[in-house]
Structure 1
Amino acid sequence: MTDATQATKKNRPVYTNIHITDLPAYRLPAAGWVSILHRISGLLMFLLLPFVIWMFDTSLTSEISYETFTAAFVSGIGFLPGWFIKLVALGLIWGYLHHFIAGVRHLWMDATHSVSKQQGKSSAVVTLVLAIVLTLALGAKLFGLY
């Protein structure tokens, strides 16, 4: 090998898999965060599906069960306090909103073939901000701030 090819070989970056211990130092782009949070929100909604079904069933069965449903957010259920039930509901609200908005983002990118780096970044930032703002607005309503 010549000296020029050795110098080129030494300057090339080495790409390796990222270990879990490397995550605090690794800077993930906004599109990466949206992708990971899309998976987390889908898992959250799947795991809390029994809670969602209970909420839906209890709210629609009768007037008495609806009163039980609304009282759960104030006095709690069993040993779980009301604020914890509200926090779980807020997690579901965020999970649904983020999953829905990120899904629309993916559908839009697929339909319009908008896959440039800049459009991916800007749509990821819009997704993150929109999901957080809507969650804060609905969370304020849930916790009785307005």
Structure 2
Amino acid sequence: MKLPVTAWASIAHRVSGVALFGMSILMVWALDASLASEQSFNELAAVLSSPVAKAILWLVAVALTYHSLAGVKHIVMDFGYGETLEGGVFGARLVIVLAVVAAVVWGLLIW
């Protein structure tokens, strides 16, 4: 079965939303640890400098970026722009391209 690009964009939007919900637990834990004391802040900073933690942070940033871009696309479509098949395909492709560019930028910034 070959899905159109609009279906892939929609599925990825849902997956990124679920991933962000799951990762929010980790992010709230990190926020709590960073605010608990100076020692726990320093320990968290040491943990977050590891390659595994940087990969997780990159995944969070990429998921948040993609989800935000796709959400903006949906809002634009709610206002009546890009509701045609051609507009939907263009919007989906634009979101995917911008998300890939953002993923590369996030990778450069984090590493």
Would you say same fold, with TM above 0.5?
A: yes
Larger Rg belongs to? 1
Aligned to 1:34: 9
4+ aligned runs moved over 4 Å, structure 1: none
Return the match for 1:72 from 37, 47, 58. 47
Q: How many residues align?
A: 111
Give ranges in structure 2 of 5+ residues lacking alignment. none
Aligned with 1:48: secondary structure? helix
Return the match for 1:122 from 76, 81, 90. 90
Q: What are the superposed Cα offsets for residues 53-110 of structure 1, whole Å, 9 maximum, x if unpaired? A: 0222233444433322221123xxxxxxx22221111111111111111011001001
1:138 deviates by 1.3
| Amino acid of the structure 2 residue aligned with 1:37 | A
| Amino acid of the structure 2 residue aligned with 1:93 | A
Aligned to 1:98: 66
TM-score under structure 2 length normalisation: 0.89
| Amino acid of the structure 2 residue aligned with 1:130 | L
Overall identity of the aligned pairs, in %: 30
| Amino acid of the structure 1 residue aligned with 2:6 | A
Distance in structure 2 (CA, Å) of the matches to 1:38 and 1:140:
23
Aligned with 1:67: secondary structure? helix
Return the match for 1:134 from 102, 105, 109. 102
More helix by proportion, 1 or 2? 2
Q: Determine if the alignment matches structure 1 residue 56 to structure 2 residue 31.
A: yes
Return the match for 2:21 from 46, 54, 57. 46
Q: What are the superposed Cα offsets for residues 29-74 of structure 1, whole Å, 9 maximum, x if unpaired? A: 2111110000100110111121110222233444433322221123
Is residue 82–residue 91 contact of structure 2 (8 Å, CA) maintained in 1?
A: no
TM-score under structure 1 length normalisation: 0.69
